Amino acid sequence: MNSLAFSDLFGSIPAPGTTQDGLAGPSRSPLARTRPPDMAIHRPYLKGRFEMKQRLLLAALSAALVAGISMAGRSEAAPGLNLGWTLACPTVANVVDTTFPCNDNSLLFVITGSARAPAGLSKVTAEEVVIDLQEANSTLQPWWHLEDAQTGPPPTAAGCRGTDPVTNPVGSLSLTAAFVGASTAVCKNYWGTSASGGQIYIPGHHDQFVNDPAGARLQGVFARVASGAGPLVADTQYYVFQIQLDSQHTVLDPTDPTVYVCAGCSDGACIVFNSVKFDQPPGTANGDILVGTVDQRQNVTWQGGGAVNCQAIPVKRATWGKVKSLYR
């Protein structure tokens, strides 16, 4: 619709003391003097013209208001985090809880995290992920001790289901930024197969400096070389990470007496995607950007969650020195 000037709608408004045709005093404009008598403007015509233009103005204002409401309805969503069971892009339709009778050592459970991208990401080189876990127990049980052995310093032993070169060469927890076979209809796959990185699982804490006997924190960093970095489109949902959690060491295996059992599988737990920080090269406009708010749902539960209140799991600062050293 072409824009209409105020004068286009209303014409010239007569000043006080003018004649009916808007011409002051006895003098006439050249237009009035050359207009034939049958074309002279009379009050009924002027009134109808004025009312018609009023209606046009109201229609234009109404159209502008409707357009404004429509544009408001199409405004960008705020950036935020999503979490769901299975490989699918997390939405409110995804499974929020997984139950398991704890009777099998061969199953694999998958959790996928995604983020609705904020504006300002023009060259993303890395992502720093924080996921917290809270078990419905007074202390973290062996089944949830998923920490790998560390050579240090100081050296630390593996948890019951963590990676140990001697007793358990393949741990039960894996955090990756690879999404092989995942649909890109809803979530886009920025990392493809080019991301390298590492993880660290910290039992008994939601922060390296604050004890939480029934909690754990999983941190991961994934990166690509700066020459391969690109933008994330604002208001678009992107895959961020995939957690693979297997069921090894859940029950005894009559065929293999070396298999040991880690108790605690039946306990409820809550897993929360607390934050992701998108890193950009130094000097890049907007710098690094942290996303820590929910988009649709940022938590899932295991075995119904037990008595754990997912909303009450605190968001505490992450310490990145150790986990970043895993991919340097």
Complete DSSP assignment for 115-153: EEPPTT-S-B-EEEEEEEEEESSSS--GGG--PPPB--S
Partner residues linked to 197 by β-bridges: 222
Q: Cβ contacts of residue 66 below 8 Å, gap of 6+?
A: none
Query: How far apart, in whole angstroms, are the C-alpha atoms of residue 85 and residue 95?
Result: 6
Query: For residue 77, what pLDDT is reported?
Result: 64
Q: Where are the alpha helices (DSSP H) in the chain?
A: 6-10, 30-34, 43-73, 321-324
Contact (Cβ atoms closer than 8 angstroms) between residue 85 and residue 270: no
pLDDT tens track of the chain, all 328 residues? 443 333 333 333 333 444 344 333 333 333 333 333 333 333 343 344 434 444 543 444 344 333 333 333 434 568 999 999 998 999 877 889 999 999 999 999 999 999 999 999 999 999 999 999 999 999 999 999 999 999 878 889 999 999 999 989 999 999 999 988 889 999 999 998 878 999 999 999 876 566 889 999 999 999 998 888 999 999 999 999 999 999 999 999 999 998 999 999 999 999 999 999 999 999 999 999 999 999 999 999 999 999 888 877 765 455 545 445 444 4
- DSSP-derived secondary structure letter, 18: B
Query: For residue 208, what pLDDT is reported?
Result: 59
Query: For residue 289, what pLDDT is reported?
Result: 97
- DSSP-derived secondary structure letter, 66: H
Q: Where do we find the tokens 């907007």? A: 286
Q: Where do we find the tokens 């059992």? A: 261
The residue among 40, 48, 44, 49 whose CA lies nearest residue 8 is: 49
- DSSP-derived secondary structure letter, 249: T
Query: How far apart, in whole angstroms, are the C-alpha atoms of residue 214 and residue 264?
Result: 12
| SS3 at position 159 | coil
Query: For residue 61, what pLDDT is reported?
Result: 36
The residue among 322, 323, 298, 320 whose CA lies nearest residue 311 is: 298
Quote the pTM value: 0.74
Beta strand 299-302 with 196-207 is unpaired
